[in-house]
Structure 1
């Protein structure tokens, strides 16, 4: 009986050791799994999407090393805030300094008039040029109501868009744009934007890409840092 005690103790010790080894093995596997998730997530977030910038409205020097793209919807209140607060900083500190050029591309998904407004804007760009486009673009956001419930109604009607058009164009130019809209002359340009939304995996507005890489920062300083890094690498 007394001889059996050491064997029991040894058996318990071995069992404890096995449990400890199993615990650390499982812990190591778990840590490796988390590391793998982090690496996959990180590599995905820095992967650049192939963006086609041809015939897209932009602000800045075409030779600027960095291309910033906003994918937006004219009915999106966050896009309105971006246009009012963020875009002026981009223009002043990144575009005017020659580091970047700024593009806007359509991701129209909120309501039927999101698409109508986007197609009008595309037509203004192709019929009247880049400067007229940005005036029209800014006016569309200026006219967006502050009440978020407006997203549920058809706000950007033909009549409102035509009136907005007259604020930046002559009667002759406005008639030219309206006629092209009715014919769907530039619907394929809107289609091109929406295809790029799908290819780049865009899921919300506004989404910002810097040289095709999704911006995941929190404020303008984060964006500026990302742009400066891209400018040095290009």
Structure 2
């Protein structure tokens, strides 16, 4: 219901460095997806497994699933929008719905003030209204992201925009609870937890994918499935 990185002192990389595209879907059978990006710029820390606190994080799937996948994303990242709309459904079908893994979304907000504002608002949605409403809001935000990348760094996701978007999936009373939580900055701790973890793992672009704390640098859906299978075996 995200991409973080530091390469020396360079800024985090967004969609221009991590382009995801689907090869195709034939008769509802997914052939796969390709990850095109400069994986060599990923910090060495991201190539090792890290212990991660998954508590109080939005996720899809069965809580008892043996493997945990994390997507770090930024709500203003065009490539995260593409990933959410085209790749996440494949991961759900192939790995989440089959019980092999659960999928977490965590924030790595770096593009502009919209990124941080929306991430914190989404954290408030999760805290006040729970996992199901979080994912509805999450999907709506990506759906409403402008197609033209010239808007990537323009302030569009205002407080009013976020509240109005939430009204599409929640009652006025529920929206008021979320807005209060957000205005009181009660989502700051959860947001910082995500940002700190992103930095600790050393990702260098969004979306960045981790499997049981280990960076995924494969190129196809089969690569991801193989990594999940190995993680389930403790490899």
TM-score (norm 1): 0.79
Match for residue 188 of structure 1?
Answer: 189
How much does 1:232 deviate? 2.7
Match for residue 210 of structure 1?
Answer: 211
Match for residue 49 of structure 1?
Answer: 50
108-117 or 44-53, larger mean C-alpha shift? 44-53
CA–CA distance in structure 2, aligned partners of residues 185 and 62 of structure 1 = 26
Match for residue 97 of structure 1?
Answer: 98
Match for residue 224 of structure 1?
Answer: 225
Alpha-carbon displacement from aligned partner over 1:105-148 (angstroms, at most 9, x marks no partner): 00000000100000110000000000000000000100011101
CA–CA distance in structure 1, aligned partners of residues 50 and 232 of structure 2 = 17
Match for residue 71 of structure 2?
Answer: 70
Question: Larger Rg: 1 or 2?
Answer: 1
In the alignment, is the contact (CA less than 8 A) between 1:86 and 1:220 conserved in 2?
A: no
Moved over 2 A (4+): 43-46
Match for residue 36 of structure 2?
Answer: none
In the alignment, is the contact (CA less than 8 A) between 2:46 and 2:202 conserved in 1?
A: no
CA–CA distance in structure 2, aligned partners of residues 55 and 229 of structure 1 = 26
TM-score (norm 2): 0.79
In the alignment, is the contact (CA less than 8 A) between 1:73 and 1:109 conserved in 2?
A: yes
Answering whether residue 161 of structure 2 is matched by residue 160 of structure 1, we say yes
Q: 1:84 to 1:233 in 2, by over 3 A?
A: same
Answering whether residue 115 of structure 2 is matched by residue 129 of structure 1, we say no
How much does 1:46 deviate? 4.1
Point out which structure has higher relative CO (alpha carbons under 8 A, 6+ apart). Answer: 2
5+ residue gaps, structure 1 = 1-40
5+ residue gaps, structure 2 = 1-41
Q: As a proportion of its length, which structure holds more helix?
A: 1
In the alignment, is the contact (CA less than 8 A) between 2:45 and 2:200 conserved in 1?
A: no
Matches within 5 A, 1:6-45: none
Query: Which secondary structure does the structure 2 equivalent of 1:71 belong to?
Result: strand
Query: Which secondary structure does the structure 2 equivalent of 1:81 belong to?
Result: helix
